[in-house]
Structure 1
Amino acid sequence: MPHRLPLFPLGSVLFPGLSLPLRVFEDRYRHLMTDLLALPADEPRRFGIIGIELGHEVGASSAHQLSEVGCLAEVRTVRRHEDGRYDVIVEGAERFRVDAFVDPDSDHPYLRAATTPLPDEPGPGAERQAERVGRLFARYCERLTAIGMPAAPPGDFPTDPLALSYAVAAALVADQAEKQHLLEAEHAAARLGLTADLLRREIRVIGALPTLPAGPFLRRDINLN
């Protein structure tokens, strides 16, 4: 039976295993945080982060502007301000597909949806693809550093194909549509193949430019609801 999940539409993409800071100020999403914090301590505080593909999310009437695939977010830390705003850090869990959006009501003024979890599989040739992406990502970091944007993978950067596919997808400087495409990939091997193509493109672009504006590489921006 599909699960009914609270949704937090966002102009960026959350990947499984990666963290994301959020600043919650809109009334309906303050209500969402209040509902989550009211859960028993042993119950996970979860909601779905889903991408806004066009315009601004203003309720169920704009559901057609949202992505069909999102990522389950598990609340790790919450700070409530005196004015009712929240600063939240979430960690990505499993992906999900939206089966049907649910209209807000008086008890749940935020968007919800019936969802189905999406499986995460390595896929054929994942190990080979992971080695290739690892080499390309190292070259990508070197090119960025050479033009004055110091970049290097963290010391604990994963080598497992599935975890690597998400970590590089999150770290790569790319637009939201490209990152959404990576999130929706059928399995890790497919995601790594797409990532390799993006890395090769970015390496060529960086090599052709004397300077590059500072971007969000390996940066943890705060996302506003």
Structure 2
Amino acid sequence: MPESVPAVEALPLFPLHAVLLPGASLGLRVFEPRYLDLVRDCSRNGHGFGVCMILEGEEVGAVTSAAAFGTEAVIEDFGTGDDGLLTLQVRGRRRFHVHRVRVRDNGLQVAEVSWCAADAVEPLRPEHGLLATLLHEVIDKFGGEHAGAPEARFDDAAWVGWRLAEMLPLQNVQRQALLQTEDPHERLQQVLSLLP
């Protein structure tokens, strides 16, 4: 029986000097015409767009080289900043792998992506129990949107890993490595290795 090939979809990209993680929130300021078009299209069609970490280049201007793994961003809210620019609040949803990128005339990158498997809900292993305690302490100290999370979340290996990757003071390359890790327990092991 031949191995199934993952379905490939077209996804517009918004490369950033940041890593968007599943379940995490991110604020964006949008002013370049290509990204204003992207936001208009996504809003009209009810689709998300891809956020990939920039490996080479800048967020503004010429086309950049971005990481091959990213996260779909869905728009939760929008407004206008004090400077008159469009502001977006997005949330990370599904992880994806980029296979090929083409550049439109307006400079917008559109990737052919396959979606990574969703994280299964699996209990924390005993060796990662300390990480749930650490996450509780971080949330107790800094608050934020996860302050009211149900206690059951703190025994979900994937959720604990993503929240720590989001809230700990990690470098973007470290977050990117966690984003590219498929297994939630392996991801937690990596988080453990990054602690001082």
- TM-score, structure 1 normalization: 0.71
Q: Deviations over 1:160-193 (max 9, x none)?
A: 1111110110001011111111111121111111
Q: Following the alignment from structure 1 to structure 2, what is the Cα–Cα distance between the partners of residues 129 and 71?
A: 28
2:17 to 7, 11, 19: 11
SS of the residue corresponding to residue 51 of structure 2 reads strand
Larger radius of gyration: 1
User: Relative contact order (alpha carbons < 8 A, sep ≥ 6): 1 or 2 greater?
Assistant: 1
8 A contact 2:121–2:157 mirrored in 1: no
1:181 to 174, 177, 180: 177
Q: CA deviation at 1:11?
A: 0.7
SS of the residue corresponding to residue 72 of structure 2 reads strand
Listed as ranges, the matches of 1:10-159 within 5 Å are: 10-39=16-45, 44-57=46-59, 58-60=61-63, 62=64, 65-80=65-80, 85-105=85-105, 109-122=107-120, 126-137=124-135, 141=138, 150-151=141-142, 154-156=147-149, 158-159=153-154
8 A contact 1:123–1:187 mirrored in 2: no
Task: Rate the CA distance shift 1:21–1:82 in 2: closer, same or farther, 3 A.
Answer: closer
Q: Please, which moves more after superposition, 25-34 or 165-174?
A: 25-34
SS of the residue corresponding to residue 132 of structure 1 reads helix
Q: CA deviation at 1:134?
A: 1.5
Amino acid at match of 2:168: L
Which residue matches 2:3? none
Q: CA deviation at 1:84?
A: 6.9
- TM-score, structure 2 normalization: 0.81
% identity of equivalent residues: 27
Q: CA deviation at 1:137?
A: 4.2
Matched residues, number: 184
